[in-house]
Amino acid sequence: LAFSEGKLWREHRKFALTKLREFGMGKVSIEKKIQEEASACLAHLRDTNGEPLDPQALLSSCVLNVIVSIIFGARYDYADPAFLRFTDDINAIFHNTNVQGMLNFFPVLRHLPVFSRMLKKMDAGYAELDKKLESNIAEHEEQATEKEGDVRDYLDAYLLAQRKWAATDSAFTTFQLLMSVRDLFLGGSHTVMTTLRWGLLFMLKYPHVLRRVQVEIDDVIGRGRLPCMADQDNMPYTRATIAEVQRVADIVPLSVPHRTTTELELGGYVIPAGTAILANLTAILNDPKHFPEPEKFRLERYLDERGDFVQNEALIPFSIGHRVCLGEALAKVELFIFFTSILQNFNIGLPDGVTDPSMDGNLGILWMANPYLLHCVARQ
């Protein structure tokens, strides 16, 4: 789904989009799953009793469980040891991938202990993740269904398609199932979690924005129910806040690497077939032609004179074109519901003695905020 091309990519992307929609992406049914995880998240935050916490582990569990429910047809308790190992393996992949960038230019460095350890941790993360996925695939194969109406989740749907097209030249194989499911987990977990972490960090940085978001939440949603996507059209300030978080956080600065399949000319340069291509999303998200004073966190850029939300076509955190993130619709629902649910129910603040949060980050697969602490106090 991420790095293939041609027939293999076309078949698997079309299948993934179709099945994600069937399992609720873009529908009310997926909102209910996300609201279930939002409720679990809020319960865990209440249990902190206002003590400082690093939100990463909790947000990671919430977001990952949404993907788990679609692919495995179940959800985990956040304290389940198997689920904790699952999240640890994915974290190991993301937190150690940054070593690859330097090794692309200086491969000899792989022999140094610090780089060797990071590579081993990343490889171990992939190996353990694959074991978990292979185990779930094997369980689904044992309970294989032959009827579309009996399909419970993404694994069932893929295995049914694999059997149906076994006599053709289809690329639907057990190996490709493993690779596509791995891509769905890696692409759909840390991206949303990382954006949410940045979102809460920006609220700590700009408490006046936090207060206005909460006023809008109270006016439109109140306190008696969880947010849903139908609320979004009546919440332009909150939408503008999420949009600006996505722009300034810029979590995938170079998108996903691609390559040219044929020779082409661009800007007077001939680019040979097979050339690796990186799209500089940072340049677009910080282009003053589209975002005046791009270094500033400004919500007004998305609001017209009446205060209505205005979509900026240059805001492309999910990339653009035929290979735009296939989980974009799901991610938007998760960001809105998780973000507004937390701010609906809690006032967030900095730990004692911290007056200005650090906005520094580190780059691996994603641009991630450095670890930070906040405290959540239930709103009265």
Domain ranges of the chain: 6-378
- The pLDDT of residue 305 is 94
What CATH superfamily classification does 6-378 receive? Cytochrome P450 (1.10.630.10)
In the structure, what pLDDT confidence band is assigned to residue 365 with cuts at 50, 70 and 90?
confident
Q: Provide long-range contacts, Cβ within 8 A and 24+ apart, for 98-104.
A: 98/362, 98/363, 98/364, 101/363
Q: Which helix (H) or strand (E) holds 298?
A: none
Helix ranges, the chain (H) = 6-22, 28-47, 56-71, 81-96, 98-105, 113-142, 154-164, 174-188, 190-205, 207-220, 236-249, 281-285, 328-345
Q: What is the largest CA-CA distance in the chain?
A: 67
Output the CA torsion sign for 199, 200, 204, 208: positive
In the structure, what pLDDT confidence band is assigned to residue 380 with cuts at 50, 70 and 90?
confident
CB proximity list for 114: less than 8 A, separation 6 or greater:
none
- The pLDDT of residue 229 is 93
Burial letters 69-102, b for 16+ CB under 10 A, else e: bbbbbebbebeeeebeebbebbbbbbbbbbbeee
Q: Does residue 254 contact residue 279 with C-beta atoms inside 8 Å? A: yes
Task: Report, in angstroms and rounded to the nearest whole number, the Rg of the chain calculated over CA atoms.
Answer: 22
How far, in Å, CA of 168 to CA of 15, rounded? 16
Q: Are strands 367-369 and 375-378 parallel, antiparallel or unpaired?
A: unpaired
Residue 101 scores a pLDDT above 70: no
Q: Does residue 225 contact residue 373 with C-beta atoms inside 8 Å? A: no
Look at 245 and 259; give whichever has higher pLDDT: 245
pLDDT tens, residue by residue, 182-195: 999 888 888 999 99
How far, in Å, CA of 136 to CA of 82, rounded? 12
What's the distance, Cα to Cα, between the start and end of the chain in Å? Answer: 46
- Tokens for 122, please give them: 């990343």
- The pLDDT of residue 326 is 87
In the structure, what pLDDT confidence band is assigned to residue 104 with cuts at 50, 70 and 90?
low
Q: How far is CA 316 from the centre of its chain?
A: 14
DSSP of 71-95: HTS----TT-HHHHHHHHHHHHHHH
How far, in Å, CA of 136 to CA of 78, rounded? 18
Three-class SS state of 283: helix
CB proximity list for 23: less than 8 A, separation 6 or greater:
29, 30, 70, 153, 154
Residue 96 scores a pLDDT above 70: no
Residue 106 scores a pLDDT above 80: no
Q: Cβ atoms within 10 A of the Cβ of 276, count? A: 8
Q: Does residue 51 contact residue 375 with C-beta atoms inside 8 Å? A: yes
Residue 105 scores a pLDDT above 70: no
Q: Cβ atoms within 10 A of the Cβ of 250, count? A: 18
Which of 1-5, 78-82, 147-151, 330-334 has the lowest average pLDDT?
147-151
